[in-house]
Chains A and B, each alone.
Chain A
C-alpha cells in the first residue's frame, strides 16, 4: 500500500512539474511509463500470493470487504469528478488543476483496485479449490501483464489500437464471469448472513458499474486513463469481474433463502454433534458440565430454558445451572404439568422412557429483570445409559407448539449424551480418587519402610538378618531393635491388626511407644506390660497387636523371651527344633492387671550354630491354592534342614521363603511375611 502511494505521488509530482513544459511526455516517455510500475508490481505480487480462505465464514467476510471497498472506491472517485477538468485534444490534462484531478483519480483507483483484486482472487480460489486455482492465478497474471503492456505502449495516443486493446481488456473482464460462477459456500451460511449478502450484492454490482462508468466516461477518468493506460485493463477486468461476482452472489443468496431455515437447522445439528463431543471432554468438572449441557441443549433445540432432573438411586436433584433462566418454582410446576390423561410429564418420561411434549401451556409466567416471561410449551426426554434411567432433560419454550419432530430427535440424542457425560464424569472422579488413595498408600508404604531399623546389631557372637514382605502395599508387620535400661539389646517382632494406611499409623505409634519405653524397662516382660498400658483403652476396641520381645541377656548365649499373643518363636538348639510358646495375651486386648498376670517369660541358653527365628503369622498361615496352610510343622522342618547344613541367617531366610513359595505356588498371599533370624556363632 505504501509503495502504491509513493509511486503514485511520485508520478503526480512528475506530471505536475512536467505540465509546465510543452511536450514533457514526449521528452521522457520511458521514465513516465516505468514509474506506475513501481506502484503496480508490489500490488500484483500481493494479489498473486494472497492466502487461501479457511472457511465459509471467512469467504463471507471477504465478500463483505470486497463490496465495501468497491463502494467506497466508486463513491470517492465520484467526488473527484467535482474537480473541473480540462483536456487537450489528445485527452491529456490541459492545466495544473486538471493534472491534479486526474492524478488523484488515478491514486484512488490504484489504491482501490488492488484491494478489490486481492479479495476477489481469494474468493475465486476458495471456490475453485484444487486444479482451478491455477486458472484464477492465470487470470490475474494475464490482467497484470495487460496492464504492463498497456503502460509500455502509449496505446491511447493511437485511436485504432486503443479500441482493440480496450476490447481485449473487456473480454478479459468477461472471463471474470467464468471465474465467479457457483457460490457453494453461500449455502452453508446462516439465514441472517444470506440476507445480508443479498443486500450487499444488490449494492455491490451497481457500485462496480459506477466505478467503471466514472473511470471510463468522466473527464477526470479520461485524463487519468490517458496518462496511465495501465489502468484500462484493470478497470475493465476487475470492474466487470466484480460486477459478475456481485450478481452471482445476489442470485445465489436469493435462491438459497427458501432453504435457509432448513440449512440453519442442519448447521445447528452439526454443531450439536461437535458440542456433544465437547460435552464428553468437559466431564472433568461436574459444575461446568451441567452448564455446558444446558447451554448446548438450549442452542440445539432453540429452547428458552433448559434444566435437568438428575436421579441417583432414590435421590432426585433439580439442576438449573449456575445462571438459571427460569425460577425453580416455575420449573417444578412445569414438571408436574400433565401430558395426556392426568399423568405429569415428569412421571410420563420416567415410566414410558421416551420423549414427551406438551404443546400448549398456560399459567407458567413470571416477571423478572428481563421482563415478563411465559412458558407455552415444554418437552422432556429421558437421560439413559443403557437401560438405566439417570434423569430427565427438560426444555421449555415461550411459544406454543414450540417443538417439531426434529427438535425431539435432537433432544432424545442429547439427553442420552448428557447421561453419558455424567457417567463419565463420575468415573473420572472415582479414578482420580483412587489415584489419590494409591498415592497416599505409597506415602504410607514409605513411612512404614522408614519405621524398620536401618541397621541391625552386630556382634562377634551372633549374626542377625531381618526382612518384612508386605502382602498388600502396606502391611501390618513390624520389627525393631531396642536397648533396655541395662544397655542389653532386644529384638521386637510385632503384627498390628488391620491393613493399609491405618496399620502403618498404628505401627508408627507402637514404634514410638517401644522406643520411648525400652530405655526405662529392664526386661521383655516389663516392656510388654508397659506397652500394653500405653495401648489399652486408647484405641478402637477392635484393634490389637501381637508382639514377641527377646532380650539378649548375655551376649554370649542367652535369650529372654516374652510373647504377647504373637507367633511362638522357633528355636533350633543342637540340631533339634522347638517353639517357645510362653503364656501371654495380645496387646490392647485386656486390662493391664489381667495382661500382667498372664504374661510369662522364658529364658534359653544357646550354643554356637543355634538359631532363634522370629516371624509373623504370614509364614505358617501361607496358603496353597487348595486352601491348605503351610503350618508350623513344615516351617520347623524347613528350618531344621537348613540348620543341618549350617545355613547363615540369609541362607536360612532364602530356604524358608523358597519352601513357602514352592508350597503356595501362584496363590496370592493374604498376610505379610516377616522373618527375623538370629544365629549364634
Chain B
C-alpha cells in the first residue's frame, strides 16, 4: 500500500518536487531527503506538486513543517500546488492554507516566485 515516489525537476526560478502515491510515516523520509538535498544546494524556491499524490498522513504533513522555517529564513518559500480535493481537505482541516500558499496550478506558484522572490507567511 505504501507506494510512493518523487522526482525533482527545475522550473526556473523554482525547483519542483513531484509527489506520487501515498505519503505516510514510511515514505515521509524520502520527501525529507529531497527537501534536505535542495537546502544543501541552497535552492530555497520550492514548489511541491501534489497532482499524483493520493494520500497524505500526519507524518507527511510534518515534513513541510520541518523545513518551512529554514526555507523562509533564507528568503525562499515552499508553495504547494495541484492538490486533489481530498488532499486539500487534510491540509485545510489543519489550517495549512493559513501557513502555506496553495495554488491550483504550478505556473501560478512559479509566477509568484517571479513576482516576489521572497514571499513569506507566518
Contact = CB atoms under 8 A, between A and B. Distances in A.
Nearest to A542: B62
Given A565-B94, A586-B95, A497 B122 contact: no
Mostly helix, strand, loop or mixed at chain A's interface?
loop
B63 A542 contact: yes
Interface string A353-391: 000000000000000000000000000000000000000
Nearest to B28: A542
Contacts of A543: 62
Interface stretch (B11-19, B51-59, B105-113): B51-59
A591 B122 contact: yes
B58 A590 contact: no
A72 B62 CA distance: 91
Contacts of A670: 1, 24, 57
Interface in B77-122: 86, 93-96, 98-99, 122
B61 interface: yes
Interface in B28-73: 54, 57-59, 61-63, 65-66, 69
A497 B57 CA distance: 9
Contact of B99 (A566, A568, A589, A627): A589
Contacts of A581: 93
Contact of A544 (B65, B69, B86, B98): B65
A565 B69 contact: no
A646 interface: no
B25 interface: yes
A519 interface: no
Interface in A637-677: 670-671
Contacts of A585: 94-95, 98-99
A578 interface: no
Contacts of B54: 627
Please indicate which of the listed interface residues A497, A568, A629 has the most CB atoms of chain B within 10 Å of its own CB.
A497
**Interface bin, chain B:** 20 to 34
A584 interface: yes
Given A497-B59, A542-B62, A568 B93 contact: yes
A630 to B, nearest CB: 12
A589 B63 contact: no
A498 B66 contact: no
A600 to B, nearest CB: 11
B41 to A, nearest CB: 20
Interface in A294-309: none
A194 interface: no
Contact of A498 (B1, B58, B95, B99): B58
Contacts of A540: 66
Nearest to B93: A565
A541 B67 CA distance: 8
A495 interface: yes
B25 A565 contact: no
A585 B95 CA distance: 4
A629 B89 CA distance: 13
A163 interface: no
A499 interface: yes
Contacts of B122: 590-591, 594
Contacts of A583: 95
B59 A544 contact: no
B58 A584 contact: no
A590 B62 contact: no
B120 to A, nearest CB: 12
A629 B86 contact: yes
Contacts of B66: 540-542
Interface of B: 1, 24-25, 54, 57-59, 61-63, 65-66, 69, 86, 93-96, 98-99, 122
24 contacts: A497-B61, A497-B62, A498-B25, A540-B66, A541-B62, A542-B59, A543-B62, A544-B62, A544-B65, A544-B94, A546-B93, A546-B94, A568-B93, A585-B94, A586-B94, A589-B95, A589-B96, A590-B98, A594-B98, A594-B99, A598-B95, A598-B98, A629-B86, A670-B57
- 4 closest A-B pairs by beta carbon, nearest first, are A585-B95, A542-B62, A497-B58, A565-B94
